[in-house]
Amino acid sequence: MKKVLAMLLCAAMLLGMVSLASAEGYSGDLKIWVAEAAVDFTKEQVEAFKAAHPEYAGMNVTVEAVGEGDAASKVITDVTAAADLFGFAQDQLARLVTAGALEEVEPGNAEIVKAENDAGSVGAVTLGEKMYAYPLTSDNGYFLYYDKSVVTDPSDLDAILADCEKAGKSFYFEMNSGWYQTAFFFGAGCQLTFETDNDGNLVKMNSTYASEEGVKALKAMIKLSKSPAFMNGSSFSTATNPGAIVDGTWDSTAAKEAFGDNYAAAKLPTVDGWQLGGFGGFKMLGVKPQEDEAKLGACDALAAYLSSEEVQLARYNALGWGPSNMKAQKSDAVQADVALAALADQLQYTIPQGQYPGEYWSLATGLGDDIIAKKYDNLDDAGLMDVLKTFETTCEGYLTK
């Protein structure tokens, strides 16, 4: 009975949305911010959207290149001057919502998003019970790119380091990033999550960093930092001598260029027998609050379109971004992709990235910088435990009071 009701409700909403949208239309200005690589692609898709929806054909859409990291900060700085639709990575979601810079997803669209995208991405766009953005990709995680001629066994960290050292190459891992660091902490069995309320306020922290597992992870990181082959970094454009690198799908083209025929990718290695974990992350498209209802309708429709199955698939084909749409994920091309396969392999060891306070990232950078600066090299287990305790209590201090 409940199911039927829900379906009816859902259908009614859908109908409502369609009729509303087709009745009104919109022909003013609309601005989109996406990453530089996606500008041309987005422009094409906007044209396709206009062709499919004559009521929006008169719309004047501008697409500007604003990086995903930058976009959120800019939108928060001045929401009225910011783009109406903007791409961002999920770690910005709570920050955007608490600043009042994101509109809720239109209820009809929310149902569709929920039904068609993988559970992780749906969770990532939802705060409390409210959905605030449209998932675009499920590929915002990291894994290992390596040079086949250098690394013989990509499944063990020590072996990788030994191979790199032998070949005079480096192993790049961004130790001072709160995002990459979790590979060690989560892999060792620790937990660090935050719970939010509907408005994006962080109300509770669940952490087991200050534990034996945490110490184990920290020790492994210190050991890595001591390796002569270790380099701090995660980007091909600044890595001058990579033999292997922990990086994401957005760098797959650069990786292919750098490694040529020896290009290969795999899940993260194991350390002393335990598998490195980390975040499975997502990219999403947000709509900012609108004062004009017709424009909001246009934004909703365009955002829904840009996150739909066909466009996600087209985006994969054009840019190599791994879709969050479950049907698109099952397409042959996506299944055959080396980088995405490695990512998918890694994903089973990761947890979907939730919301973290903005201060967490700089705190984690501090921890990483301390490790690289060799501050913890001489600490015993108790000393390391104290470090993690400090880390944990500081994190807890970031909760919304």
Selected from 136, 215, 276, 296, the binder of other proteins by CB under 8 A is 296
* 22 is an interface residue for other proteins by CB under 8 A: no
Task: List the one residue from 238, 273, 332, 380 that touches other proteins (CB under 8 A).
Answer: 238
Q: Which residue stretch of 117-125, 302-310, 342-350, 367-375 sits at the interface with other proteins (rule: CB under 8 A)?
A: 367-375
Name which of 176 and 329 has its Cβ closer to other proteins.
Answer: 176
Strand 134-137 to 283-287 pairing: antiparallel
Contact between 293 and other proteins per CB under 8 A: yes
Chain residues 135-194 in contact with other proteins, contact rule CB under 8 A: 170, 176
Nearest to 145 by CA among 166, 168, 162, 164: 164
* Type of residue found at 247: D
Residue 185 is inside which H or E element, if any? helix 178-188
**111 or 118: whose CB is closer to other proteins?**
111
User: For residues 66 and 349, which CB has a smaller minimum distance to other proteins in the complex?
Assistant: 66
CA dist 265 and 142 (Å) reads: 11
**Whole-angstrom distance, CA of residue 30 vs CA of residue 293:** 13
Q: How far is the CB of 239 from other proteins (least distance, A)?
A: 7
Does 128 bind other proteins (CB under 8 A)? Our answer is no
Cα–Cα distance measured from residue 146 to residue 245, given in angstroms and rounded to the nearest whole number: 6
Question: Which listed residue (239, 271, 344, 385) binds other proteins by CB under 8 A?
Answer: 239
Does position 114 interact with other proteins (CB under 8 A)? The reply is no
Closer to other proteins by CB, 293 or 381: give it.
293
Residues binding other proteins: what is the number (CB under 8 A)? Answer: 76
Site for other proteins in 326-365 (CB under 8 A): 358-359, 362-363, 365
Helix (H) or strand (E) holding 76, with range, is helix 68-77
Give which of 112, 97, 108, 104 is closest to 130, Cα–Cα: 104
Q: Which of residues 91-110 bind other proteins (CB under 8 A)?
A: 95, 98-101, 103-104, 106
Of 191 and 394, nearer to other proteins (C-beta) is 394
Q: Among 206, 241, 262, 335, indicate the residue that binds other proteins (CB under 8 A).
A: 241
* Contacts to other proteins from residues 31-60, by CB under 8 A: 33, 35-37, 40
Segment contacting other proteins (CB under 8 A): 42-50, 236-244, 278-286, 328-336?
236-244
The smaller minimum CB distance to other proteins, of residues 118 and 139, is found at 139
Amino acid at 352: P
Q: Is 233 in the site for other proteins (CB under 8 A)?
A: yes
In the complex, minimum distance from the CB of residue 348 to other proteins, in angstroms, rounded to a whole number = 26
Can you tell me whether residue 229 is helix, strand or coil?
coil
Least CB distance from residue 130 to other proteins, whole Å?
Answer: 13
Least CB distance to other proteins at residue 164 (A):
12
Pick between residue 349 and residue 360 the one whose CB is nearest to other proteins: 360
Give kind and range of the element (H or E) at residue 217.
Answer: helix 212-226
Q: Which of 9-17, 125-133, 149-157, 291-299 is the region at the interface with other proteins (rule: CB under 8 A)?
A: 291-299
Nearer to other proteins, 162 or 326 (CB): 162
Q: Considering the rule CB under 8 A, would residue 235 count as an interface residue with other proteins?
A: yes
The residue within the footprint of other proteins, chosen from 73, 149, 191, 270 (CB under 8 A), is 73
Indicate which single residue of 236, 282, 305, 316 sits in contact with other proteins (rule: CB under 8 A). Answer: 236
The two tokens of residue 189 are 């069995």
- CB-neighbour burial class of residue 114 (10 A; exposed 0-12, middle 13-18, buried 19+): middle
Backbone angles phi, psi at 290, to 5 degrees: -120, 145
- 230-231, strands of its sheet edge to edge: 230-231, 170-172, 242-247, 143-147, 263-266
Q: Is 82 in the site for other proteins (CB under 8 A)?
A: yes
Is residue 74 classed as helix, strand or coil in its secondary structure? helix
CA angle 36, 41, 44 (to 5 degrees): 135
Rounded-to-integer distance, Cα 271 and Cα 168, Å: 22
Q: What residues contact residue 229 under an 8 Å CB cut-off, 6+ apart?
A: 161, 162, 164, 165, 169, 170, 171, 243
Interaction residues for other proteins, span 271-290 (CB under 8 A): 289-290
CB 396 within 8 A of CB 192: no
Neighbours of 336 (CB within 10 A): 9
